């Protein structure tokens, strides 16, 4: 009976105004991207000319991008980013999902205490802990390795929190039925709960990957070798080496670093928005 959700019908002038304002703000928001791409295809001469055009009169993209890929180990950086993000995400899910299941579906002494600990962990900004974590990595002898980039993140209080919320929403009867069917607790987690909470897993994955791909703070502390640097740290090193003067290749490198997430975002916009909005509680 209430088949209607009256959708806003703007008068024509208001609709036009809406588009006009949004197009202007959208264009303003996009300027840094446009400028970056524009510089990345210009030859040095045109970049330093005192008038601007979006498209170069002499297309210099090939040279700039080649230079970005050869003078800095850009692909290596991105590979590092991929390795680190994948390892972190995989470990986080492996560590967090069982804990979240215990918190959501099992009764045991100390459950509230454990949940409290998770909430406290959720509240602690990771940067505050960087000094002891640095010392810890030093003691373990893993500084300047992939392990140092991954280790501090193997548990995510936010992951536990989010998974617990989703697991709690799954009826207890599902767990009971699975036990009657002879599944072990681990099998219940990996074959029942996680697949049923797939939206949470996807949201968390996006949150985690975006966060760690873009992170500069910890890699700056944890690694020195160029061959280990994830993209943000790598591109910063590239900028410092070039002293920021060779804009074309620098912009090309920036474009390449930004590109993977932007493409993923445009392909799965809804999931990204949802996943990152959920991360607001973090």
Partner 1 sequence: MSGPLALSSASDERSTTRSDRTSPTPAASSARRRVLKEALAAWTLAGPAVFFLFVLFFVPMIGVFIIALTDWQFGARSLSFVGLANFREVFADHGFRTSLFNTVIYVLIVVPGTLVLGLLTALLIESGNSCRSFYRAIHFLPFMATLTAMAIAWEALLHPTIGLVNQTLAAIGLPTANWLRDDKTALSVLAVIDIWQNLGYAMVLFLAGLKSIPQDLYDAADVDGADLWLDRLCTVTLPMLGPVSMFVVIVVALRAFESFDTVKVLTQGGPGHASEMLLYTLYRESFEYLHTGYGAAVAVVFLAIVVTLTLIQARLMDRKVHYQ
Partner 2 sequence: MAACSFQSITKSFGPTPVLRGVSLSIADGEFLTLLGPSGCGKSTLLRILAGLEVQDAGSVSIGERAVDGLRPKRRDVAMVFQSYALYPHMTVASNVALPLRMRRLSAFQRFPLLGRLLPGTARTAAEIDVEVTRTCKSLGIGHLLDRKPGQLSGGQRQRVAVGRAMVRHPAVFLMDEPLSNLDAKLRVQMRAEIKELHQRLGVTFIYVTHDQAEAMTLSDRVAVMLEGELLQVAPPQVIYADPDDRRVAEFIGSPKINMFDGVVREHGLIDVAGSTLAIEVDALAGAPLTLGIRPEAFHLADHGGPGALTGSVRMVEHIGSDLFVHLDLAGVDHPLVARLLAERAPHIAPGQDLHLRVFPDRVLLFTRDGRRLRRRVESGRASVTPIRELAR
Contacts to partner 2 from residues 5-34, by CB under 8 A: 6
CA 127 to chain centre: 17
Partner that binds at residue 1, options partner 2, partner 1, none, CB closer than 5 to 8 Å by kind: partner 2
Please, which residue, 121 or 196, has the CB nearer to partner 1?
A: 121
Q: Is residue 228 helix, strand or coil?
A: helix
What is the contact mask toward partner 1 in residues 212 to 251, using x (rule: CB under 8 A)?
-xx-xx--xx---------xxx-xx--x----x--x--xx
Longest Cα–Cα distance of the chain, Å, equals: 76
Gap between the Cα atoms of 59 and 35, Å rounded: 15
Partner that binds at residue 22, options partner 1, partner 2, none, CB closer than 5 to 8 Å by kind: partner 1
Please, which residue, 1 or 128, has the CB nearer to partner 1?
A: 128
- Calculate the alpha carbon distances from 168 to 91, 103, 200, 236 in Å: 22, 9, 12, 43
Q: In angstroms, what is the minimal distance from the CB of 169 to partner 2? A: 23
Gap between the Cα atoms of 168 and 184, Å rounded: 19
Q: In angstroms, what is the minimal distance from the CB of 3 to partner 2? A: 6
From 46-54, 59-67, 68-76, 197-205, span contacting partner 1 (CB under 8 A): 46-54
What is the contact mask toward partner 2 in residues 168 to 207, using x (rule: CB under 8 A)?
----------------------------------------
Q: Does 59 participate in binding partner 1 (rule CB under 8 A)?
A: no
Please, which residue, 8 or 110, has the CB nearer to partner 2?
A: 8
Number of helices (H), then strands (E), in the chain: 16, 0
From 55-63, 65-73, 193-201, 253-261, span contacting partner 1 (CB under 8 A): 253-261
Q: Does 245 participate in binding partner 2 (rule CB under 8 A)?
A: no
Q: Is residue 92 helix, strand or coil?
A: helix
End-to-end, the C-alpha distance of the chain in Å comes to 40
Gap between the Cα atoms of 66 and 47, Å rounded: 18
From 50-58, 59-67, 68-76, 141-149, span contacting partner 1 (CB under 8 A): 50-58
Q: Does 15 participate in binding partner 1 (rule CB under 8 A)?
A: yes
Name the CA dihedral angle for 34, 44, 78, 239, rounded to a multiple of 10 degrees. Answer: -100
Partner that binds at residue 3, options partner 1, partner 2, none, CB closer than 5 to 8 Å by kind: partner 2
Q: Which of 70, 86, 127, 227 binds partner 1 (CB under 8 A)?
A: 127
Listed in sequence order, the residues at least 6 apart from 129 whose beta carbon sits closer than 8 Å to its beta carbon are 152
Spell out the long-range contacts of 129-138 with Cβ–Cβ below 8 A and sequence spacing 24 or more: 130/217, 130/218, 130/221, 134/221, 134/222, 137/222
Q: Which of 110, 195, 225, 243 binds partner 1 (CB under 8 A)?
A: 110
CB 163 within 8 A of CB 200: yes
Please, which residue, 6 or 245, has the CB nearer to partner 2?
A: 6
Q: Does 1 participate in binding partner 2 (rule CB under 8 A)?
A: yes
Instruction: Using CB under 8 A, list all residues that contact partner 2.
Output: 1-4, 6
């Amino acid at each position: 009976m209430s088949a209607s959700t009256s959708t806003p019908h703007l008068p024509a002038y208001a609709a036009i105004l809406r588009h006009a304002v949004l197009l202007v703000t959208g264009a303003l928001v996009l300027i840094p991207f446009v400028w970056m791409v524009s510089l990345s295809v210009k030859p040095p001469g045109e970049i330093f000319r005192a008038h601007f055009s979006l498209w170069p009169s002499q297309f210099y993209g090939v040279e700039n991008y080649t230079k970005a890929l050869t003078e800095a180990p850009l692909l290596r950086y991105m590979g590092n980013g991929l390795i680190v993000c994948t390892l972190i995400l995989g470990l986080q899910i492996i560590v967090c999902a069982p804990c979240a299941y215990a918190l959501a579906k099992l009764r045991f002494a100390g459950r509230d205490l454990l949940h409290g600990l998770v909430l406290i962990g959720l509240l602690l900004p990771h940067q505050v802990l960087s000094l002891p974590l640095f010392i810890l990595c030093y003691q373990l002898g893993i500084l300047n390795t992939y392990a140092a980039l991954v280790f501090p993140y193997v548990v995510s209080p936010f992951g536990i929190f989010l998974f617990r919320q989703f697991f709690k929403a799954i009826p207890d009867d599902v767990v009971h039925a699975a036990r009657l069917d002879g599944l072990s607790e681990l099998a219940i987690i990996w074959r029942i709960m996680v697949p049923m909470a797939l939206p949470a897993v996807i949201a968390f994955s996006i949150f985690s990957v975006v966060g760690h791909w873009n992170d500069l703070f910890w890699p700056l502390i944890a690694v020195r070798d160029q061959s280990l640097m994830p993209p943000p740290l790598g591109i910063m090193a590239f900028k410092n080496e070039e002293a920021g003067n060779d804009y074309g290749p620098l912009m090309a490198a920036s474009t390449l670093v930004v590109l993977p997430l932007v493409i993923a975002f445009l392909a799965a916009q809804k999931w990204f928005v949802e996943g990152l909005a959920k991360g607001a509680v973090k």
